[in-house]
Structure 1
Amino acid sequence: MDDEQNRQQEDWLNSRKNRLPSFTEVLSRRTRPPVDLFMFYIFLQREGAEDILDFWLDVQQHENLCRAYFKDVRKSGRTIKEDWPQYWEYARRRGSIYGTVVGLQPNAVKRSTTSTADMINDQEKNAMAHPADEKRGGLRSTTPGYEKDPDLDQPRSTTPFSLSGRTSALFNLKRASRAPTFIPRSAAISRMDLIASAERIFFRYLSPVGTVNSPENHEIYLPPALRIHTFPLSSTQEPKSQSDLNMMAHIPDMFHSQKEYCFRAMEQDAFPRFLRSKAFGNLTPVSALVRLVVGLILLWIGLAAGFALIFLDVQPKSKRFFLFIPFTFAILFLISHQYELDPILIFLGQSESTPFRMLTIREPYVKRLLLGRAIWVTTLVSIFVVALTLLFWAVPGHRL
């Protein structure tokens, strides 16, 4: 068995040498910079959409907490049916993502894993399949891509990555990265711990902004079919009535459909743009913009010096070859802005995480891709610099 696992691990590592990582691999922390989870979080933070990833990570931890609870129950010698009959009945009828842990039949597990796809209707699928079209729409509430939330004065976008109501990180300092919801396991996990975990997720991500007076309230977009409007339980009071006990049975699977929707939205929208940004370039937008400005200034200096040498008829003519110095830096910065790639940093094995802060490129396939693009950019820079320098050298001098 160990040999088989080692062989599968080796095959997986070999396959990774010739392809970009998948979104699942990034989320499971199996990739290295600059296409790891940390860099993806920074990418979303720059777009003001990191709450979606925070939600996914928090729900993942909530589900891990539920799995730990079920495993503790089984280790104690009791069955889930004996310990939590309401949840057992719910999972038996509706299916559950914890089917193998709680001892359900395989067909019950299968029902739970396919229920998410059934809950997302064609409208939501189209919204995820064409996120760019949604974002190109206006930011007004009268735009067809937006719907009015009856509880809020501001419109809600129909895609999780809309820029409505957000300020670009280029012009606004974002809050520090929050750690996902965490419950220290100093004692056995109880059902009240599960309620507390679900309660934090609801009030942090699903409760409309303004209804909860907390700086941690950052509502994410969900399609109407997946929204949860109320959380009837309380982590400070143990459920006693039959209706509360039945509601508590929903807690383990409560956010799984929403988590799957966010996964698909990130996978189809943000993740491809993240790969284009980090696997084919190594600059942040701010750094690329700075290079554009500096490149234009240096190009103006080079052109001004070149025309001065021509119209002053400076001798010897070979002095014009020194124009390659401003031309080299100007063209390098301009092409670096165009490709969002600095070849010098690539040759040093560096990529930007935040503006002008570097990290080492460790993903083998990404390193090869960037190296090839760096060679291409260097070739373009050399061609343009040689052409400009020879052009200004060949023009006859004429003193005005």
Structure 2
Amino acid sequence: MADHAAATPSPQPDLTRNRLPTLFEVLSRRTLPPVDLFSFYIYMRDQQRSVDYLDFWLDVAQHMSLCRHYVRELRRSVLVSTPDPERGSQRSSGILEGLGDMNHPVAGPSMYASEKEKDQDAQMSAFLREDRGEHHESPVSSSARQERPSTTISTPRDPQTDSNSPPHTVARQDIRASAEKILYTFLLPNAEREITLPGSITQDIITAIEEFGRDDPEVFDVAKDYVFQAMERDAFPGFLRMKALGNLIPPTLIMRLIIGLVSIFGGFWAAFVLIFLNESRMTRLWLILPFTIGVYCLASYQYSLDPILALIGFSEYTPFNFSRVREPYVRKLISRRAVMVLTVTVLIDAALCVLFILVPGKRL
């Protein structure tokens, strides 16, 4: 146990899920396209215009993972060697030994944590508060720093990353730097990417970090849960409607609306011209083209779904960029809707074509 690192396991997608995923499952990277974290990130950036909230949540989750990684390394060093009394108190060593491996796959909102996880995280935060003046460093940290320059932990911005675990040894000052980065980026007035939170929440965090020197994960718990609930209430339902019930994005839908209206108008104009010129039914067969294009585009706009793309298994995430639909339940759901939309399209198109092709002509 003590001879190797207790790495945080990477989350695995749930391929047996027979329902739409929850926001927690999406943020935990347990879902597949088109309802994965990458797609949600793009949705928050391009549609909701509130990606800063998601970045804040991801940064706080990363901070939690950083703290867990640091405490795991420190705990391992305590277990494999005789603790040096000068490096920490007996109380701190006792807390470390009682924490367990802390191999939680993700750092999520407190309402989804198990009692064991909540207890371990509370003990970890208590240890970090006691430890903040001692600046523990794991045994391998010193040698690692001699081999390469010290680097500040930066929060990964790639939502496709499978794990929040840091790629190298974590030092105590890295945790402090991570907490301050979150504060200065998202929470201070006029910060670079300031997010709107209740004033009491923001002030409590600022006071805890700047006046009391705290950097433990509990500092951000209230804000993280508030942001999670706001995304779950205001953004996630729209994300599921767009990605689980459709496969097109708003710019493409507007384009299809315009093409559909122009095609339908052109079809009606050509139909009346051909009828009143008493053209043959063979000539009027060309009306199938504008009516089919128009009805197909308008149906795609109405249902936010391109039925042919859906049936071959593709979903749009940015204009004219597509990814495969890999989430099993979403694939079945979209396929059923595609058949329905295609049926409606064929029926309306057939009715228009039959009406304007078979109606008797009369030259004016």
The counterpart of 1:218, out of the listed 193, 198, 217, is: 193
Where does 1:86-101 land on structure 2 (aligned, <5 Å)?
Answer: none
1:386 counterpart residue number: 350
SS in 2 for 1:254: helix
* CA distance in structure 2 between the aligned counterparts of 1:223 and 1:300, rounded to whole angstroms: 51
The counterpart of 2:179, out of the listed 198, 206, 214, is: 198
SS in 2 for 1:353: strand
SS in 1 for 2:78: coil
Q: 8 Å contact 2:13–2:31 — kept in the other structure?
A: no
What stretches of structure 1 of length at least 5 have no aligned partner?
1-8, 93-97, 114-176, 235-243
The counterpart of 2:277, out of the listed 292, 312, 315, is: 312
1:70-100 residue CA offsets vs partner (Å, 9 max, x unmatched): 1122112178x98666x96xxx9xxxxx966
Q: 8 Å contact 2:260–2:295 — kept in the other structure?
A: yes
1:202-257 residue CA offsets vs partner (Å, 9 max, x unmatched): 01111122xx5xxxx101111223113736868xxxxxxxxx7xx23453322122
User: What amino acid is the match of 1:205?
Assistant: F
1:45 counterpart residue number: 45
The counterpart of 1:369, out of the listed 325, 333, 339, is: 333
Q: Output the aligned Cα RMSD.
A: 3.6
Cα offset, 1:262, TM superposition: 1.2
Cα offset, 1:355, TM superposition: 1.1
* CA distance in structure 1 between the aligned counterparts of 2:287 and 2:252, rounded to whole angstroms: 25
Cα offset, 1:101, TM superposition: 6.3
1:245-276 residue CA offsets vs partner (Å, 9 max, x unmatched): xx234533221221111112112221111111
* CA distance in structure 2 between the aligned counterparts of 1:48 and 1:272, rounded to whole angstroms: 15
2:56 counterpart residue number: 55
What stretches of structure 2 of length at least 5 have no aligned partner?
1-10, 103-114, 124-155
1:353 to 1:63, Cα distance in 2 relative to 1, 3 A: same
SS in 2 for 1:281: coil
2:268 counterpart residue number: 303
Q: 8 Å contact 2:14–2:30 — kept in the other structure?
A: no
1:38 to 1:336, Cα distance in 2 relative to 1, 3 A: same
Identify the range of structure 1 (196-205 vs 260-269) with the bigger mean alpha-carbon deviation: 260-269
Cα offset, 1:398, TM superposition: 1.6
Note if 1:340 corresponds to 2:340.
no
Cα offset, 1:287, TM superposition: 0.2
* CA distance in structure 2 between the aligned counterparts of 1:110 and 1:294, rounded to whole angstroms: 58
Q: How many residues align?
A: 300
1:118 counterpart residue number: none
TM-score calculated relative to the size of structure 2: 0.72
SS in 2 for 1:358: strand
* CA distance in structure 2 between the aligned counterparts of 1:291 and 1:11, rounded to whole angstroms: 34
Where does 1:227-376 land on structure 2 (aligned, <5 Å)?
Answer: 227-228=202-203, 230=206, 247-314=212-279, 316-376=280-340
Q: 8 Å contact 1:99–1:108 — kept in the other structure?
A: no
1:189 counterpart residue number: 170
Sequence identity of aligned pairs in percent? 43
SS in 2 for 1:219: coil
SS in 2 for 1:255: helix
Cα offset, 1:289, TM superposition: 0.3
